[in-house]
Amino acid sequence: MTDRIDPDALTEDEAAQELARLAALLDRANTAYHTEDAPEITDADYDALKARNAAIEARFPTLKRDDSPSEQVGARPADGFAKVAHSVRMMSLSNAFDDDDITEFDTSLRRYLGLDADATLAYTAEPKIDGLSLSLRYEDGVLIQAATRGDGAVGENVTANARTIDDIPETLEGAPAVLEVRGEVYMSHEDFADLNKRQEEAGAKTFANPRNAAAGSLRQLDSQITKSRPLKFFAYSWGELSEPLSDTQSGALQRLSDLGFVTNPLTKRCDGPAEMLAQYAEIEAQRATLDYDIDGVVYKVDDLGLQARLGFRSTTPRWAIAHKFPAELAWTRLESIDIQVGRTGALSPVARLLPVTVGGVVVSNATLHNEDYIQGRDSNGEPIRDGKDIRVGDWVQVYRAGDVIPKVADVDLTQRPEGSEPYTFPETCPECGSEAVREPGDAIRRCTGGLICPAQQVEKLKHFVSRAAFDIEGLGAKQVEQFYTDGWIAEPADIFTLEDRYGSGMQQLKNREGWGEKSATNLFAAIKDAANVPLGRLIFALGIRHVGAQSANLLARHYGSWEVFSTAMSDAAPLEGPAWDELLGIDGVGAVMATALVTAFNQEAERASIDRLAAHLTVEEAAKPDTSSSPVAGKTVVFTGTLEKMTRAEAKARAEALGAKVSGSVSAKTDLLIAGPGAGSKAKKAADLGVETVDEDGWLTLIGDA
Ligand code: IVH
């Protein structure tokens, strides 16, 4: 199971599988939290999932999914409220977990802006309120609309409800003609306790925490109910403005306060990382006595001109970061070590723990990553935990931070049971008995059983039905496991013959636990639908090692159709020749992935299984990418010489955001050279090759930034 593996230890195909799993989990968590107001996982777990996703994407940028959770803010709005398209997108914040992340944040902004280490770069530091964000639109000083964040682009119209909140003024004196004020709706601890007491007395549902209570109360279809729930509002940001509020963040907050909004009194302007961390400590110290929940500190660049230059990544501003409060730790007994076998045969050790509460959640499992980790070594052979190994019976410290699966931080050797033995990692697969081997340079030991290993078979099937693959409604991991155990399906092709084999009169499926007439009918219909599949999804669904969703799409776009693709894979069997060269020539396909692909297609049993599957499918051809939206989309550009209006990093980020590919050197493939003063050999080469060349101003005009 890839969810137990450290991001740094994941192989490429495990990373793809893990990104698919994280996308599904985060999507579900978003819907539960934002649309249903009934979170299924804690905020810390959510952050940990997101951090894990980001870490894996950073390591494998080509695997980043089209539906990547890092590109999404919140969830689609629930039905029931009118939808509001935000005129300025509502953003999320990237997270920092320790002091080094903050120093690095400051350093990277300086680098981006081209500021020396001794130039002043001021920030504001303010508590991160644990509520839900709200955007208030005032026109000519009158509140005309209040909208929740929704997915960042479209939220819900909750104007009638917002009007019941005392902290939200109905009218403003001296405000810009158009003013969108953004901030956090929250419930105080005292009001939360009172509300739950009233709910309990009335036999109504109680809320797990003040955040849920605030969200549930704001998103009531009957505003009379919202009125009876005491909600509060802190203003900390803005959307559309007809004129600026100030030229600094702190000035803008002051202006919002002057206009009658409540701003947080713990906000402070700081002159750099040392002062920011001091304010973090101050806010953390006050946390226990505050009457509302906060889950960290938000730092924002104070100068709004610099904020504008720094701009946004897809869902987060570059000029702000949320410094989260640390995760909790707990000590418990390690009762046993289990080995789980994944889709690609990876053997992952899992610690079974005496259940213990960590940060409000009961933990009974933790990842042990791999055999080196258990022995007290990292992937470079360096000692971890001072080289202490982990043994069954040990007293271990578990934590949950930056990773959803709890980890073992430490071992208390003074509590080690007498006569305990070092853990021996199995050299055969616990599921099928095949030899488990560890290739040189790989931290993971793998079962060599391939298709005869039941664990690999079932994991492959689960991957096949996962969201980025076939995504068959009604056929999730649980159902697949059940069907597999009962011998109904052994490989993906079997899914498409389920109805013929077990569907007659729906009797057999209907008689099974958890299935009724309707769900059985729906399942067969969903399977029929899924048989029409885009090429990229099919390639990803095959579960070939090193082939993630992104790579599968690259392959699909290159080959266009299943016939061309599968023939090319057969033709590349000798691992040389034109078909092999073509495969390796695809930007984003390396030798490791190419070998895995060609091996899978030319290994007799695996190919037969793929062909059996393809016989049931209608594979949609892959569309060519749309390059019409921006003047430089799809173009390869090179920057050279000195840029005067922006740093290289800034220029690169802007070009990439417009769909251009930024390259470091000029070649026949270069479409445009942007040459500042001092441009040397690159300008000459571009001239020789006849590549179009513009100066910085020409570039800014071209992209509409002049
Ligand atoms: S600023 C463009 N400041 O945290 C920047 N957000 O994780 C927008 N939040 O969606 C956000 N306290 O709901 C900002 N002082 C604060 C905040 C804050 C809480 C929430 C907000 C945002 C989420 C991002």
Out of 368, 393, 415, a domain closes at 415
Probe residue for ligand 1, chosen from 249, 256, 298, 307 as the CB with the greatest number of ligand atoms within 8 Å: 298
Residue 109 lies in a domain: yes
Among the listed residues 50, 64, 128, 232, the single catalytic one is: 128
Instruction: Write out the DSSP string of 244-270.
Output: -S-SBHHHHHHHHHHTT----TT-EEE
Taking only the tens place, the pLDDT of each residue in 269-322 is 999 999 999 999 999 999 889 999 998 999 999 999 999 999 988 789 999 999
Out of 299, 324, 349, a domain closes at 324
Out of 588, 620, 652, a domain closes at 620
Asked whether 572 and 598 are in contact (CB, 8 A), the reply is yes
Taking only the tens place, the pLDDT of each residue in 642-695 is 888 888 878 887 887 777 877 888 998 899 999 999 888 999 999 999 999 999
Q: Does position 627 have pLDDT exceeding 60, yes or no? A: no
Burial of 644: CB neighbours in 10 Å, binned 0-12, 13-18, 19+? exposed
Instruction: Write out the DSSP string of 428-448.
Output: B-TTT--BEE--TT-S--EE-
* Best CA proximity match to 600, nearest among 343, 339, 340: 343
**Cβ 444 under 6 angstroms from ligand 1:** no
State the sign of the Cα–Cα–Cα–Cα dihedral 595, 596, 597, 600: positive
Residue 463 lies in a domain: no
pLDDT, position 497:
93
* Best CA proximity match to 324, nearest among 122, 42, 133, 102: 102
Q: Which atom of ligand 1 is nearest to the CA of 73?
A: 10
Give 182 Cα–ligand 1 centroid separation in angstroms.
Answer: 9
* Best CA proximity match to 430, nearest among 312, 367, 345: 345
Single-letter amino acid code for the residue at 460:
K
What proportion of the chain, given as a percentage, has pLDDT over 90? 60
660 against 244, higher pLDDT? 244
**Cβ 96 under 6 angstroms from ligand 1:** no
> What is the 8-class DSSP label of residue 220?
-
Report the domain count for the chain.
5
**Cβ 213 under 6 angstroms from ligand 1:** no
- β-pair type (123-129, 347-358): unpaired
Place of tokens 């306060």: 257
SS3 188: coil
Q: Does position 245 have pLDDT exceeding 90, yes or no? A: yes
**Cβ 320 under 6 angstroms from ligand 1:** yes
SS3 183: strand
Q: Does position 194 have pLDDT exceeding 70, yes or no? A: yes
**Cβ 94 under 6 angstroms from ligand 1:** no
Single-letter amino acid code for the residue at 128:
K
Asked whether 157 and 83 are in contact (CB, 8 A), the reply is yes
**Cβ 236 under 6 angstroms from ligand 1:** yes
**Cβ 370 under 6 angstroms from ligand 1:** no
Instruction: Write out the DSSP string of 512-527.
Output: STT--HHHHHHHHHHH
**Cβ 214 under 6 angstroms from ligand 1:** no
Q: Which atom of ligand 1 is nearest to the CA of 237?
A: 1
Same domain? For 402 and 365 the reply is yes
End-to-end Cα, the chain, rounded Å: 51
**Cβ 322 under 6 angstroms from ligand 1:** yes
- β-pair type (446-447, 532-534): unpaired
Asked whether 530 and 616 are in contact (CB, 8 A), the reply is no
Give 447 Cα–ligand 1 centroid separation in angstroms.
Answer: 46
C-alpha separations of 295 from 33, 44, 131, 319, 537 in Å: 16, 9, 10, 19, 38
* Best CA proximity match to 420, nearest among 350, 335, 354, 504: 335
Residue 344 lies in a domain: yes
* Best CA proximity match to 389, nearest among 379, 374, 372, 399: 374
Same domain? For 552 and 648 the reply is no
* Best CA proximity match to 397, nearest among 410, 414, 415: 410
Residue 108 lies in a domain: yes
Single-letter amino acid code for the residue at 185:
V
Asked whether 412 and 333 are in contact (CB, 8 A), the reply is no
Residue 171 β-bridge partners: 142
Domain that holds residue 658: 636-702
Residue 68 lies in a domain: no
Same domain? For 280 and 221 the reply is yes
**Cβ 128 under 6 angstroms from ligand 1:** yes
Residue 251 lies in a domain: yes
d(CA 269, CA 250): 7
Same domain? For 87 and 38 the reply is no
Same domain? For 295 and 188 the reply is yes
Same domain? For 175 and 286 the reply is yes
Same domain? For 225 and 285 the reply is yes
**Cβ 310 under 6 angstroms from ligand 1:** no
d(CA 335, CA 456): 26
d(CA 243, CA 176): 6
Same domain? For 224 and 278 the reply is yes
- β-pair type (672-675, 636-640): parallel
Asked whether 105 and 299 are in contact (CB, 8 A), the reply is yes
Residue with the nearest Cα to atom 18 of ligand 1?
A: 128
d(CA 90, CA 69): 16
Q: What is the CATH number of the domain that holds 11?
A: 1.10.287.610
Residue with the nearest Cα to atom 2 of ligand 1?
A: 91
Weakest mean pLDDT among 512-526, 616-630, 691-705: 616-630
* Best CA proximity match to 616, nearest among 531, 530, 541: 531
Upper half-sphere CA count for residue 522 (Cβ side, 13 Å): 9
Asked whether 100 and 160 are in contact (CB, 8 A), the reply is no
Same domain? For 546 and 589 the reply is yes
Residue 199 lies in a domain: yes
pLDDT, position 548:
87
Banded pLDDT at 68 (limits 50, 70, 90): confident
Residue with the nearest Cα to atom 15 of ligand 1?
A: 128
d(CA 368, CA 371): 8
And the tokens for 280?
Answer: 């973090």
512 against 324, higher pLDDT? 324
Q: What is the CATH number of the domain that holds 313?
A: 3.30.470.30
Total Cβ atoms within 10 A of residue 697: 14
Taking only the tens place, the pLDDT of each residue in 536-568 is 999 999 999 889 888 898 899 889 999 999 999
Cα-to-chain-centroid distance, residue 206: 30
Residue 454 lies in a domain: no
Burial of 308: CB neighbours in 10 Å, binned 0-12, 13-18, 19+? exposed
> What is the 8-class DSSP label of residue 622?
P
C-alpha separations of 158 from 112, 219, 259, 597 in Å: 39, 7, 22, 51
Q: What is the CATH number of the domain that holds 678?
A: 3.40.50.10190
Give 313 Cα–ligand 1 centroid separation in angstroms.
Answer: 15
Probe residue for ligand 1, chosen from 91, 93, 294 as the CB with the greatest number of ligand atoms within 8 Å: 93
For residues 31-48, give the mean pLDDT: 74
Residue with the nearest Cα to atom 10 of ligand 1?
A: 92
Q: What is the CATH number of the domain that holds 358?
A: 2.40.50.140
Banded pLDDT at 403 (limits 50, 70, 90): very low
Q: What is the CATH number of the domain that holds 594?
A: 1.10.150.20
**Cβ 93 under 6 angstroms from ligand 1:** yes
Dihedral angle of Cα 186, 191, 194, 196, to the nearest 10 degrees = 10
**Cβ 596 under 6 angstroms from ligand 1:** no
Give 323 Cα–ligand 1 centroid separation in angstroms.
Answer: 11
Q: Does position 514 have pLDDT exceeding 80, yes or no? A: no
Give 317 Cα–ligand 1 centroid separation in angstroms.
Answer: 11
* Best CA proximity match to 622, nearest among 569, 540, 564, 559: 559
C-alpha separations of 643 from 113, 594, 647, 679 in Å: 12, 39, 6, 10
Q: What length is written for the chain?
A: 706
Asked whether 529 and 523 are in contact (CB, 8 A), the reply is no
pLDDT, position 625:
47
Give 253 Cα–ligand 1 centroid separation in angstroms.
Answer: 14
**Cβ 126 under 6 angstroms from ligand 1:** yes
And the tokens for 671?
Answer: 């479409």
State the sign of the Cα–Cα–Cα–Cα dihedral 531, 537, 538, 542: negative
d(CA 182, CA 234): 8
> Helix axis angle, 99-113 relative to 273-287, nearest 10°?
140
What proportion of the chain, given as a percentage, has pLDDT over 70? 94
Same domain? For 18 and 88 the reply is no
Residue with the nearest Cα to atom 12 of ligand 1?
A: 128
- β-pair type (320-324, 95-96): parallel
Q: Which atom of ligand 1 is nearest to the CA of 95?
A: 7
Residue with the nearest Cα to atom 13 of ligand 1?
A: 133
Same domain? For 677 and 563 the reply is no
Give 149 Cα–ligand 1 centroid separation in angstroms.
Answer: 11
Banded pLDDT at 401 (limits 50, 70, 90): low
Most confident of 45-54, 98-107, 401-410, 471-480: 98-107
Query: Over 310-372, what HEC string results?
Result: HCECCCCECCEEEEECCCCEEEEEEEEEEEEECCCCEEEEEEEEEEEEECCEEEEEEECCCHH
Q: Which atom of ligand 1 is nearest to the CA of 149?
A: 10
Per the prediction, the chain carries an average pLDDT of: 89
Asked whether 321 and 334 are in contact (CB, 8 A), the reply is no
Q: Which atom of ligand 1 is nearest to the CA of 127?
A: 15
Same domain? For 316 and 276 the reply is yes
Place of tokens 């003047």: 631
128 in catalytic set: yes
